[in-house]
Amino acid sequence: MKFGFVGLGQMGAPMAINLAHEHDVLVYDQNTSAVANVEQSGAKGAEEPNQFADVDVLITCLPAAKIVDSALFGSKAGLVQHLKAGALVVDTSTIEYGATLEMRNRLQAAELRFLDAPVSGMQKRAEDGSLTMMVGGDANDLAEVQGALSTMASKILHMGDVGAGQLTKLINQLLFDINAAALAEILPLSVKLGIDPEQVAEVVNSGTGRSYASEFFVPNILQGDFSNGYPMQAAYKDLISGAEISARHNIPTPVLAAATATYQQALLEGHGDKDKGGMILVFERLLGTDFRATTLKEDKL
């Protein structure tokens, strides 16, 4: 079985590398240095879309629905026009539910099969192949490629029909966003009231306030480091999707709405290039505090 892989960014590159360790993989990205890096693991770089004509499975890992759409259906370089009938497209990107359904319809019209398979776990887990993958689509299609997907994800869950993978990923992301916004609001409050940040961090990450968000972000916040996660400006699409679903289905989401307001304030203040831990900068400014390690504060004096 021959694989194509398009999108060699923060998540895609390590995923493609892990796949190439065990399978025949043809890769493409606009960033030629990213292609060269993955080629070192045994993958072959593609220069023209027609080189994908003989792949059995095309995997995409791209940052937005419009970019996935362009890669697949673009009039000049779209890969769909080159794929053989019956090929399977597996989209591991995190995109909107509606865009996923539209993609399925267009791929079906082109006699192609489709799985939506977004992943969770951030870059470190992409590197060690321990991602969680949530899959929507035909169970037989998943069974055909599950062995190959397991080189990238240690947990692969079939969630239902096409789109179910994206909906499940969205649920997970919204909970993560809410956790990150809560940390941003409450941690500066502790400093304002005179409590030591490092001790607060120790209590939170060993107590009932602990979450994956706190374990990942709090140590970095203490060091003033907001560069270890996905940039807020790129991840904002999840909150848009959450608001859209809330509006369309008349489902009240007050806690999500409050977290979204914090997220939006951080974007308005120019922190979109920072990871979600950067939301704390909004409340640090408001309260005139810094949730930082003592040694870091001393270095600034």
- Rounded Cα distance between 31 and 6, Å, is 11
Q: Which two tokens stand for residue 210?
A: 């602990």
Instruction: Decide: 103 and 128 in contact? Cβ < 8 Å.
Output: no
Number of Cα atoms under 13 Å in the Cβ half of residue 4: 29
Instruction: Decide: 43 and 20 in contact? Cβ < 8 Å.
Output: yes
- Rounded Cα distance between 274 and 159, Å, is 31
What is the Rg, in whole angstroms, of the alpha carbon atoms belonging to the chain?
A: 21
Q: Which two tokens stand for residue 166?
A: 């994206």
Cα 64–116–122 angle (5° rounding)?
Answer: 60
What distances in angstroms separate CA 113 from CA 56, 193, 228, one per listed residue?
Answer: 10, 57, 35
**Collapsed DSSP state (helix, strand, coil) of residue 254:** helix
What distances in angstroms separate CA 74 from CA 5, 89, 116, 127, 263, one per listed residue?
Answer: 17, 16, 19, 30, 32
- Rounded Cα distance between 159 and 166, Å, is 9
What distances in angstroms separate CA 54 from CA 88, 145, 260, one per listed residue?
Answer: 12, 16, 44
- Rounded Cα distance between 113 and 292, Å, is 50
- Rounded Cα distance between 291 and 200, Å, is 10
Tell me whether residue 169 is one of the annotated catalytic residues: yes
Catalytic residue among 2, 76, 124, 169, which?
Answer: 169
Q: What residues act catalytically?
A: 169
